[in-house]
Structure 1
Amino acid sequence: MHLGNENQRAGRARKYIWQVACRLAYGPLSPFTRRDSSQGERPPSRKALADIYLGYDSLLTMCEGNPRITISLMRPLVRRYFGTSKVIPFEDQAALVEETIAKYVSLLSTIRVVEGPVRIAVDVSSMDRSLMARVLLTVLDGLNDGETMLVLYSPSAYIAPPKDLVPIRNSTAAHPAIAVQVAPPDSGRIALLGVGYEYGVSLNILEAHEPDISFIFRPNGIDERFQQAGREANFGFDFGERNYEIVDYFLNDMAGAYDDISNLIVSTKHNSTIVAVPMGPKILSATMILAGRLHQPQVSVLRYSVASAGHYKDIGAEGVVVGVAVTMIKDREITAIQNIMSRQSY
C-alpha cells in the first residue's frame, strides 16, 4: 500500500477496503467465530445482519448506485429521523435492509420468464486474454442450437501512451484448446497480428515468429487519437522488407473483421500453420479466439504480456459499446467443434 503515488494508494485502498472489513467481521479474531464458554463453547448466533452491512457507507455501497433501491431503502429512515439529529440505531437499519431485500426478491419473482433460445452476454472490456479465452470457450461449448452469445466491448478513453520501447514479459497460448499442433517442416507460417499502441511490440513479435507472410490488423475506432498513437508506435506501419499486408478493421463492424480473419484462415490453413496474436482492442482478441476455436487445429491464438505482474491502471471508458452476436447453428452431420456461427454487429 505504501508504494506508488497518492492516487495509486487511494485506488488500492478502495479496492481492498471491503475485503479487509469482511475479514475483520468473519475472520478468526471476530467474536462471531470465537468460541464462547458462556454458551457451551459455541460461537454466538448470527441471525442478525453483521455490522459491516450497516452504516452510511455500507448502505450506499449495497445499493450499487441504483437510484430506485437507494430511495426504497433510505426513504423510511429519512421520514422517521429527519430533523431529530439522532443517530439511527443499527437495529432499525438492519430491519430496513431486510425489508428492502424481501421486496426486491418479491419483485424478481413476478418477472415472467420467456421461453425461448438462451442469450448470454459476455463483457470482455476488462478481461486479460487468458481469462477471456476460458470464458468465451466455456460459453461457446455450452450453447445449444439457436442460442446466442453476445460479446460486448467498451473502448477505453484515450490516454497518451509512453514512447519507450516496451519489453515482452510473457508469451503463451491463450488457452490449450486453441493451441496449434506440431506442423510438418515444409509447411509455411502465417501470422495474423493485431496492433495496438505499445511502442515497438509488433515489430518484436514479427521478429520472434519470422512468418512467411503477415496480415497486420489495424484498428479504426471512435477517437482518432488512437489511430495517430498506433501509427507512431508501429513506425508508420513500415515493417521493412518483410512480406506483409495491412488489413483495416472497424470497432463498429467486428462481424466484418471476423469474416476477414475466417477467410484468411480458410484460404491458408491447408498448407500453413497460423499464429494469431491479437494485440490492440480486446474485441479483436475475442474475435480471433472464436475464429481460432472454429478452425482448430490449424490456428494457435497467443497472448503476449507487456506489463509486469500486478500492474494495473484505472482507465475510464469512452462511453460506447460495440460487439458481435454469435448464434450457434449445429449440423447433425458435423461435430460441435465445426459449428457454424452467424454474426451481427451492433
Structure 2
Amino acid sequence: MDLPFQEFFRFVKPYRRFVVSCHIHPDGDAIGSTLTIGAALAQMNKQVVMVCNEEVPNVYKFLEGSSQIKRELPSDFIPEVLLCVDCAEKERIALPANVWEIPGLQVLNIDHHITNTNFGDYNLVWPNAAATGEVIFSLLSVGQIPLNHNMATALYIAIATDTGFFRYTNTSGYTLEVASQLVKEHQLELAKIAEQVHEQKSFNSIRLLGEVLNTIQIGIGGKVAWAVLDQQMLAKYSVENEETESYVNYPRSIEGVEVGILFKELRPGEVKLSWRSTTAVDVSKLAANFGGGGHARAAGCNLNGPLKTVIAEVLSYIDDYYQQQCNTE
C-alpha cells in the first residue's frame, strides 16, 4: 500500500514499539534519516530502538544520538513496527534475519530510490526527492513535528551527502529550499559540518586512493572508465568503507567519460560495484541488470565471482549496451 504523508501519522498512532533501521553500508542519508525519524517518533511518545548491524561510520559519529544506534535488537524489545529508511529492497536492510520472524510485525518503508521494490506493508516512496532526508523533512512538516538543532543537523547531512553537497543533478530547487530552511531556522554551522563530513580524510585513505587511481582504465570509445580496489589493497591499509565511497567519482570525472565504475572486492568471491554517470546514461538500469539499483546518476550492486571475471562480465554487458544504443540511433 502506498502511504501519503498525511496517512503516515494515522498509521503509526495505535502502535507503541518501533525499530528503525537503514541499508547496509550506511551513508550520510541512511544515518541522518535514521536519527531524525527516531527522534520524531520519540517526540510522539513512542518506544524506539534504532538498529544497524554495521558500525556507524566514524565521520558521522559526531551526530547526536549516533551512539544510541545498536548493532542488534535487544532481546527484551519486541517491536510492533519496523520502519526502514533509505533502503530500496528488503534484502539490503541492516537487520538480523530473526527480526523478520516477529509475529505481526508491520513494515513501513520510507525511501527515495526509483528502484524501490515497495517491500513494506506500507510504503512512503518519493523518487523525485534528492534524499530520504528530504522525504522525512516534508513528512515532519506535514505532521507539524518540530525539529530541534540535532534533528536539523542530521537532516542537513542526509541531504547534503546524497547530493554531493548540492553538486549532483538530483539537487532541485526544493532541495535547496529545504537546506536553506534548516540552516536559517537552526543556525547550522555549515563550514564545520563540511569539514567534519566532506573534507577530513584519514592519511591511509589518501594513500589507498593513490593506489586505486593507478588502476583506472578507459574503454568503450572513451565513454566508460573504471577503477579497482582489491583485497590486497584493503589489507595494506586500515580504511573504513565510508572513506572509499567517493573513489568512484575519479573515473567518472575524466573528460568524455559517461559511466564511471569502482570494482571493490569485499572478500574473495564477492565484488561491490559503485556506478556513477553523466546525464547521458541511467546507471540504475545498468545496475538493475545485476540485481542492484539506486538512482539514474548513482547506483550500486554486488556480484559473486572472482574479481577479474566480474570485471570482464560487467564490461562486456556495457559494451553490448552501447552497441544497442548505436543501433537504435
Q: TM-score, normalised by structure 1?
A: 0.26
Report 1 or 2 for greater relative contact order, CA contacts < 8 Å, sequence distance ≥ 6: 1
Q: TM-score, normalised by structure 2?
A: 0.27
| Larger Rg over CA atoms | 1
